[in-house]
């Protein structure tokens, strides 16, 4: 089925010289000449140079942390496209899953975001060590029990989201708790979230996520529980309001099988 859609890829990066080039190249090989926005956290290696050589637009975040990077990204992102693709810069998430994620959004307007589930797909034995796997499962349990947004892998870094959902979003998260806040944003705006199993590779470069970050993620889960949800049932026509009528930027014609 041939489908026409517009999208933008957003990548937060900090000293990701080993993986940033491969990540961008693989996405472009899969999706075509997609616009790429890289938010750099003041890297001291060749991350910025490589990203620019790959044709990416690079902006610099003001503070630190993944949430702060996404705040900066939304200041520069083209939210008139259909979809925003989020991935990590360390080459852990295979681009081959993204066309399927986009197809799900194209076919079902009630779904606002599709997430890659690392916990049910093939995981490289070096990618998710036992302690992090257990931590992910415990945080997922807390996320589902406390917040009512049921996901097997709520902290995944590979997501495709309707761009219109992000319009007007005032982010509170500064670090790795951003995924929790994003899950709740989609739910509060009346959309469903779907997960698909994905492969997960060992990262290239130094791992940024530490065990201590789990406490800030748990704190965000509790804060989102206290926030008003306003989850509503939406009709097909209401769902389409998250898709801009006038699309600017690059239209990508891709064959999705």
Mean pLDDT to the nearest integer, 125-154: 65
Which residue has tokens 């997430």? 115
C-alpha 156/C-alpha 85 separation (Å) is: 13
User: Is residue 195 very low, low, confident or very high in pLDDT (cuts 50, 70, 90)?
Assistant: very high
Residues 44 and 122: beta-carbon distance below 8 Å = no
Q: Is residue 251 part of a domain?
A: no
- Judged against a pLDDT cut of 60, whether residue 175 lies above it is answered with yes
Strands 2-13 and 36-40: parallel
- The per-residue pLDDT for 61 is 95
Q: How many residues does the chain have?
A: 257
- Quickly state the pLDDT bin for 120 (edges 50, 70, 90): confident
Q: Summarize pLDDT for 32-79 with one digit per residue, the tens.
A: 999 999 999 999 999 999 999 999 999 999 998 898 999 999 999 999
Task: Identify the pLDDT of residue 18.
Answer: 96
pLDDT of 129 higher than 80: no
Instruction: Please give the pLDDT value at position 62.
Output: 92
Q: What's the total number of domains in the chain? A: 1
Please report the sign of the dihedral spanned by the C-alpha atoms of residue 240, residue 241, residue 244, residue 245: positive
pLDDT of 159 reads: 97
171 part of a folded domain:
yes
Q: How many CB atoms lie within 10 A of CB 130?
A: 7
Q: Judge whether residue 100 has pLDDT over 80.
A: yes
Q: Report the share of the chain in percent with pLDDT over 90.
A: 54
Residues 75/76/79/83 CA torsion (nearest 10 deg): -120
In a domain, 97, yes or no: yes
Whether residue 217 is predicted with pLDDT greater than 70 in this model: the reply is no
Q: What per-residue confidence (pLDDT) applies to 207?
A: 65
Q: For residue 88, is it within any domain?
A: yes
Q: What is the pLDDT of residue 1?
A: 38
Q: What confidence category does residue 243 fall into, taking pLDDT thresholds of 50, 70 and 90?
A: very low
pLDDT at residue 122 in the model = 66
What's the whole-number average pLDDT of the chain? Answer: 80
User: CATH code at 235?
Assistant: 3.90.550.10
Phi-psi region of 65 (alpha: psi -120 to 50; beta: other; left: phi over 0): left
Residue 25 covered by a domain: yes
Q: Is residue 246 part of a domain?
A: no
Residue 249 lies in a domain: no
Residue 229 binned pLDDT confidence (cut-offs 50, 70, 90)? very low
Torsion of CA 48, 102, 140, 136, to 10 degrees: -40
Q: Which pLDDT band, with edges at 50, 70 and 90, does 149 fall under?
A: confident
In a domain, 214, yes or no: yes
Among the ranges given (126-135, 175-184, 192-201, 215-224), the one the predictor scored with the smallest mean pLDDT? 126-135
Query: What is the percent of the chain where pLDDT is above 70?
Result: 68
Residues of the domain holding 173 = 2-239
Average pLDDT over residues 170-193: 87
Q: Which of 28-37, 88-97, 135-144, 162-171 is least confident?
A: 135-144
pTM of the model: 0.79
């Amino acid at each position: 089925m041939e489908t026409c859609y517009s999208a933008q890829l957003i990548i937060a990066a900090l000293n990701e010289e080993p993986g940033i080039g491969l990540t961008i190249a693989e996405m472009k090989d899969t999706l075509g000449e997609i616009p790429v926005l890289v938010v750099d956290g003041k890297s001291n290696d060749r991350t910025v140079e490589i990203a620019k050589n790959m044709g990416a637009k690079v902006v610099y975040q003001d503070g630190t942390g993944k949430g702060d990077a996404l705040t900066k990204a939304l200041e520069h992102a083209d939210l008139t496209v259909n979809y925003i693709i989020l991935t990590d810069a360390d080459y852990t998430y295979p681009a081959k899953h993204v066309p399927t994620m986009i197809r799900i959004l194209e076919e079902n307007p009630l779904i606002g975001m599709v997430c890659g589930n690392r916990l049910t797909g093939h995981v490289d034995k070096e990618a998710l060590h036992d302690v992090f796997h257990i931590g992910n499962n415990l945080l997922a349990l807390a996320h589902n029990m406390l917040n009512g947004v049921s996901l097997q892998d709520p902290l995944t870094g590979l997501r495709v989201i309707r761009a219109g959902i992000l319009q007007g979003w005032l982010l509170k998260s500064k670090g790795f708790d951003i995924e929790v806040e994003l899950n709740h944003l989609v739910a509060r705006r009346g959309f469903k979230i779907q997960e698909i199993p994905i492969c997960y590779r060992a990262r290239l470069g130094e791992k940024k996520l530490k065990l201590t970050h789990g406490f800030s993620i748990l704190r965000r889960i509790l804060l989102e529980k206290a926030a008003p949800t306003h989850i509503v049932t939406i009709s097909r026509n209401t769902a389409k309001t998250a898709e801009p009528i006038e699309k600017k930027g690059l239209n990508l014609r891709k064959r999705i099988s």
